[in-house]
Structure 1
Amino acid sequence: MLVSATTALSRRHLILAGAFGATSLAALGSLAPARADEVWTEEFMTRPETREGFALDAMDDWQVENAKFVIAVIKGHELDEQAAAITLATAIVESWLRNYEPEVDLDSGGLFQQRPSMGWGTYDEVRHKKRAIDAFLGLGDHSSAPGLLDLSPDFREWAPGEAAQAVQGSAYPDRYAEQIPAAQTLWERYSADVDPYTD
């Protein structure tokens, strides 16, 4: 379902209103910004990161910040731990929590290896972390590809790996479920100290 950017309510607001009710919609504008000591700049959101590898207890600073940023965006959309686990596990599988700049599989790129040719946005948009997360969730106005809330609005009732696969359509569907424990650990480590990000 696509909603024009010129409508009174954005696609994000319409989905959130349906999921959480009018009171949550009214509160959207009052969410706290990211912590003052944690500033995610445009440079952070678009910086090329191309080293491969993921080990939960050997993450470098960029992987940690990317994990925390995913959590902040999830919280900014008033979504929960289950949504975070699905999103983080997908980013672990697709990019090792790095924001790939080169095209590594056809025209794919970014945290989720989204393809511009499949409607996920432009070359730059799939590599912009906030836009890529929003698109994965189905809350990105720039993307015409169906995301998590489009394909599985009842995702809490799904096995997390299956919900991730519904969005990604991977040739290796079992890989997302394998990373759910790591994703849940990242939520447990960082969520209490990360404020919602809504910019």
Structure 2
Amino acid sequence: MPVSPSAALSRRHLLLAGAVGLSSLAALGSIVPARAEEVWTEEFMTRPETREGFLLDAMDEWQVENAKFVIAVVKGHGLDEQAATITLATAIVESWLRNYEPAVDLDSGGLFQQRPSMGWGTYDEVRHKKRAIDAFLGLGDHSEAPGLLDLAPDYHEWAPGEAAQAVQISAHPERYAEQIPAAQTLWARYAGDVAAYTD
């Protein structure tokens, strides 16, 4: 069951403290840091707001890079495949894994179509891929909006699509579940070769 936003926000500091603890363990070697040759960019792309769909086996280089980066950031926080699956499915639905510069829906932007007016950060922060992923997970200091770990700290007990919807509050909640198989495929395809990103 989702918790109220006020209750979620009240335990944000505890969750952040837990994340810091996981990050500390990572620094001690339980998680391998990102390889030096791996350079993640903040490139942007635009698209019309349509329902043409996401083509898993026709992804362009930007989509592949963004999928790998989501996995790297999730790993960097010491989180697991389920967290990555929820995060990837959400980014597929919201942006087809492309980092959007202009607002395509009111003031929304970035991988998760986060809205500055709804507390997700500034115009630039919602388009900054690392900050956008952190905010979605509930681990972004810049964001006032509750994320996954705020609203569903027991996300393993949730249907992944329902966990995504708890964060996004979409008018089309069924779309997240539709993309779970694609997200699981992306994890299986790339996770073994992507190192944790901890910067």
Class of the TM-score when normalised by the shorter of the 2 chains? 0.7 to 0.9
Alignment of 1:110-129 (within 5 A): 110-129=110-129
Q: How many angstroms does 1:35 deviate by?
A: 2.1
Partner residue in 1 for 2:190: 190
Partner residue in 2 for 1:93: 93
Q: Does 1:15 align with 2:48?
A: no
Q: Give the number of equivalent residue pairs.
A: 185
Partner residue in 2 for 1:162: 162
Partner residue in 2 for 1:27: 25
For 2:46, the aligned partner's letter is: T
Alignment of 1:120-139 (within 5 A): 120-139=120-139
Q: What TM-score, normalized to structure 1?
A: 0.87
For 2:110, the aligned partner's letter is: G
Tell me: CA distance 1:3–1:198, structure 2 relative to 1, closer, same or farther (3 Å): farther
Contact 1:100 1:127 in 2 (8 A): yes
Partner residue in 1 for 2:44: 48
Contact 1:103 1:109 in 2 (8 A): yes
Q: How many angstroms does 1:49 deviate by?
A: 1.1
Which digits, 9 at most, give the CA deviation of each residue in 1:84-126, with x for residues without a partner? 0000000000000000111111100000000000000000000
Which digits, 9 at most, give the CA deviation of each residue in 1:142-167, with x for residues without a partner? 00000000000000000000000000
CA distance in 2, matches of 1:25, 1:60: 32
CA distance in 2, matches of 1:2, 1:62: 37
Q: How many angstroms does 1:13 deviate by?
A: 4.3
Contact 1:74 1:80 in 2 (8 A): yes
For 1:103, the aligned partner's letter is: A
Tell me: CA distance 1:69–1:175, structure 2 relative to 1, closer, same or farther (3 Å): same
For 1:49, the aligned partner's letter is: M
Runs of 4+ in 1 over 4 A off after TM superposition: 10-13
Contact 2:120 2:144 in 1 (8 A): yes
Contact 2:11 2:150 in 1 (8 A): no
For residue 186 of structure 2, give the secondary structure of its aligned residue in structure 1: helix
CA distance in 2, matches of 1:11, 1:127: 26
Partner residue in 2 for 1:7: none
For 2:17, the aligned partner's letter is: L
CA distance in 2, matches of 1:15, 1:119: 23
Root-mean-square deviation (Å): 2.0
CA distance in 2, matches of 1:198, 1:26: 10
What residue ranges of structure 2 are gaps of 5+ in the alignment? 1-8
Q: Bigger shift: 188-197 or 28-37?
A: 28-37
Q: How many angstroms does 1:28 deviate by?
A: 3.5
Alignment of 1:138-153 (within 5 A): 138-153=138-153
